[in-house]
Structure 1
């Protein structure tokens, strides 16, 4: 193999297999001398790939973990697996990794060959994700289109369905994608309304980048704070809920929040291991109480008081519907039962 760039890519692909490669075997594979292999290894090191060499008759070369993440070469199966995983994760706002997942997915799909993109789409359509119960799933293609427009400072046009069901067409300068842990939001400057707006991404349809570039405007505050203040004009609540199970037994939408271990005194269900979950939300106390009940787990509401009241009210209605009477002193709940304000 006389083409140096092609040889380096082939060598890198071999070294990314988790094993040690004797220099002679690499030379045979690439049909070059062991001296050429040594020079190519030096080139890879100059490019930032940490290639370790060991001496002796059983010695050879292997790629090890370095201080920085170098580019990776993926075969077809690996690329498809990663793309499917990123799509599945990006479709549900996963706290802590959401923005990085969308950026990675946008980069991968930009260079994914058509034949592999078709396979990814087929696998995605053949799978069903178990959501957190609020139905706020997002098409990953929508997220990647928006993420690319944000990164490229390119104006975006899309159809939008407002909370009251009204359908509009929007032309915006996208600024930032923000995840609250349960939903995705796009912060953008609305060209027609000449003002900043927050858009729920699950209400967006047919987004496409127009190709028109723009100089970014200055948002009057942090994007996360802008989303928090604009959550449909609703109050943002600081929630604290104790659960009578270990943190790993919580559903995904709660594991993404601030979770700490707590003794039985802090969780429903009496003595035993439990955990305490704290987060902020703009959801109504009634809706959040229903989501907590749908977990099917024992829980106790410590804050806010409105959430405790909503949980007790929900328990009473459910008990009445089941033909039973909720106990006036009930303070904890499992699944659809009541929860108390601590």
Structure 2
């Protein structure tokens, strides 16, 4: 009986590792007859695992999705991978942090002692990355609605929300009418969720922050379109009008750059805003823990900077320029660390 149980668990692990398995290959992997494999599959089905039979020359068995969540089986490597993923899961959805902690506790409770020790050795401590702008969490209802529309290819009606999550009313300066879009992809970048969609009003591809949308699902289906460009990630990163707003920092400033908005948007820190001015110029608004920090980030673009705001940012730039000039003027000319 113990041998049968171990074999059934191994069979379950195999079924979960690949979309479909031929009967002969399962029998070879388990080193048993095909009849024994059929019997073990019936045992798993009695335990409510949704194993379907695929007929035909390329048929076999497939582990499908059931109406309830049956017990799951992980090998040691998979369990450790899940434990690390739960600890590093980004808290960009309301309640995800608590749910991840509960799932991690449940996983740890059923682990054998050696594996539990390995997992505890990988216990992580979350640290604030001061150079990564924090992302606001998303209402899971909105995220689910957008994800379902993408999956089922249903037209979505979206309304734009304010940065604080409130909905502008008609007559407000920031009110925008609802848009009908074809949602194609969800993309996560710099801790933020973006929707890549085709706007049916102006017939243009758009990138929108999901946390700034109030979605209204429809049942109208659409046919998938050819995406703009070959690289979806590059399209998102280079879209300057994706609905970003400056994140909360002690200091926030901006400058006019002699670079196209698409170039700056690709390399600007998450949580910054890129405004298109013309084909060769844009305005970048960003924050940091100091004015010198903002000036330093702006300097990384290696382009002409004008119209810096506010005055504190201009003063910080002058102080940095003086420090760099001092560094280049002092030191021995034979010193290999001297800047030239």
> What TM bracket, shorter-length normalisation?
0.3 to 0.5
**TM, length-normalised to structure 1:** 0.42
**TM, length-normalised to structure 2:** 0.42
